[in-house]
Structure 1
Amino acid sequence: MIHYLPPAVFIVVSLIGAGMTAVVYNAEEAADRIRFENLADDAVDRVVGRIREHITLLISTHSFFSAQAGRVERPAFERYVAGLDLEGEFEGIRGIGYARLLETGDEAEAAGDLQRNYGLAREVWPETSQDLRTPIVLLEPSDERNRVALGYDMFSEDRRRNAMRAAMESGKPTASAPVELVQEITSVKQAGFLVYIPFKQFPSSRRVDGFVYAPFRAGDLHRAALDRVPRLPVTIETTDTTEGTTGRATGGTPNGSGDLLFRSAGYGEDTAYEGLAAERVVDMAGRQWTFKVHATPAFRTTTHHIYAMVVGAVSLLLAIALAMSSRFQLKAVAAADELRRVSEKTVQEKDLMLQEMKHRIKNSIARVLAIARQTAANSDTIDEFSDSFTARLNAMANAQDMLTRSHWQRADLRELLNTELEQVFGNSTGEDKITGPKVLLDERTTQALGLTFHELATNALKYGGISTNNGDLHVNWAITGSGKSKRLQLDWIETSAGTIGEPEGTGFGSRLIDANIRGELGGTIDRSFHPDGMTVRMNIPL
């Protein structure tokens, strides 16, 4: 189970990091929502604030009329309005004017005002079925659009009439429902509205003498408010949603959604950016205006959700680091355990090796002593003993040397045979005289065959005529059987010019060979003598 610790650490830390990232992400989303709500308030405040500034300007004009007791001539009014710089400072307001309140049939008074103030021979228009009329007799600045509106009876149109009646009832500035201004004389038209303030020549009188009013182009007003620096990354739609509105305005729809006053470019082409939308309802001089605000792609900055990404990245790196640290610690613990195990095994192997060395040394000493005793018993002189004993010790040493080079694992049969023959005969035997497959011998077999080959070679040198070049030697072997039944069959074949007679007795060399093959290795050995030589066949288990 401990192997699952690194992935478990990674998963747990990643889940914690994901939770932290989600918290930060939600916090950033909430912050963005709050920021957007503030931007929506700012956008609405810009529009509403600008309209209220204009209404304040209209209230000031009403005060100007009151100060003149209603006797305001055009030259004074023209200078007054020119000083306000409507086009430069109050974009969106089309002008400031005065509409006289008359009973139907008294239109001549208004026509006289138009003739006196503007030199216009124009009757009040259009025809009406109403008892009252409110023709425009003053409207500044006097440009082409405003001159078209002079003499227009605003009381003849439903929405304007309703606004004026509401203003007379409240005595406060009152806005109309969206209308198409009579100043819209070009093909490009905008929705508009008007704001009326009832005027009384004598404040204590109940009779209203007329209206100080201002026409507004909604599109110009909104753009002037919203295009101010800094530009807001929002689009906006403004509608008049006052209940009971009748009629139709330019760009508006007389349905439950209200009459459209203004819509930003790009608004409604797509859903609100990432669902960021807000709605504000504002009382605008007695009318209910609904502002719908949408965020644009510019709302998101290049560092959007940067903190969530940083937290997520740090959490992931931390999870990876902790998982790797756990893995390295497990590896370190495993390495320490392995080192301890190897150390213990080394100690055990060292003890085993010491015991093995003691055993081998004892065996070698016992074998040397046995060889010494037998060699001495079969030697007539010290020199003969020395030569025979030294040769047999060298045979043992050669076998030991081969085993040592292979770390006491295996010795090659061909190499062992060549070494012993070279030691006895003084030169190597040709490859054509030694044939057989590759055979690896264990320690015991190597020791036994080493001494056996030495004894056979010594006898061949003494009795086989090899030393006088009258004889020859061939050794071949083969593997028989398989698995645990595998055996080595080796034939030692000596040839000679003369007959090699069978010995009358058994010397030490023959006894040593029999002891090695039969006793040590559990094999068999057969000797056969013939007119031109001798054959020794050994069969031993591998």
Structure 2
Amino acid sequence: MPLPADLQQVFIHAPFRNDAKILQSLLETHDIPSEVFASEAALAEALGDVLPGALIVTQEALTDRVRDIVREHLAAQPDWSELTAIVLVEKGAPQATLLRHLTEEWPGSRPVFYQRPLATLELLSGVQSALLARIRQRDVRDHIALERELRHELNHRVKNILASVNSIFQMTARASQTLDELKQSFGGRLATLGGVHSALFEAGGEAVDLEGLVSLVLSPYATEGGTGSELSGPEVSLNKDAATGLGLTVHELATNAIKYGAWSVPTGKIRIDWSVKGADFELTWTETGGPELAAPTRKGYGTRYVRAALQNLLGQPPEIRYEASGLVLVARGPRRHIESPSPPDRNEPETVGP
């Protein structure tokens, strides 16, 4: 069910006398957006498309059809939603009986009754309370969506870590002559992989050297005579956001290279170049020596993440080319988005690759 931007519009169904006009004028006076639905068909169509901030309906308009329309809407609303239905009743109306019936018929709603003639402040207070409740519900919706996305990302990252561990083991095994050598080399590379993740998420706001960061991210995959990478570019001091964004991007590209690209074969090579010209920054990731690539028919999570991360960091999406010789990615943007005002602590990691 599509949602309006803020769940703040009040739906009014009061088809008799001048009730609808009076109610809408009152709400507009207090800057509360509303829409009047004179017919049951119009109300049904609107409730089938959006979630209103609240519903105001008069007692005489509560026909069996209107009750069914509201019930169908409530059955389709998401779990986090609870619509406040404000019912305007006549003096002497059996409110207790009506409340019992509506509570049974409209699960997922909070019926509220106001007796006519209306007290203006009382009605406004009820509408504003309903809209405040919608704001809280919207926050719940956003938290649920964020939690779902975080679970998705966590699942993706766990799979990538497992793929990285498996690849590191395979590369280490090929280069090891004895079991002891395999144990020592593999254990060291696993420790390095853990250090990469710690460095990315615990930078503490300090400046990070770009070459040192890329070397650190790629170091778990370095083997003597095995996987190769070449780095070239001037000294660049990254701010924390750039270090995290570029570090995770390089890790994502390396994981994809292990699965499908240059590093899926022993002869594959990766070259990372970057440059700073005036106010512009550019980084190029080039794979060679791997299997012939074709553009994928669908974009996986990794590709979507790389595009989104570089778009957010540099203000424009990267250029990605699937060439016969291998993947090429070019990221460009203003250098002010990635540079730190303070120089990094240049603690150079071990050389990566042969």
TM-score by length of 1: 0.27
TM-score by length of 2: 0.40
Q: Bigger relative contact order, structure 1 or 2, given CA contacts below 8 A and separation 6+?
A: 2
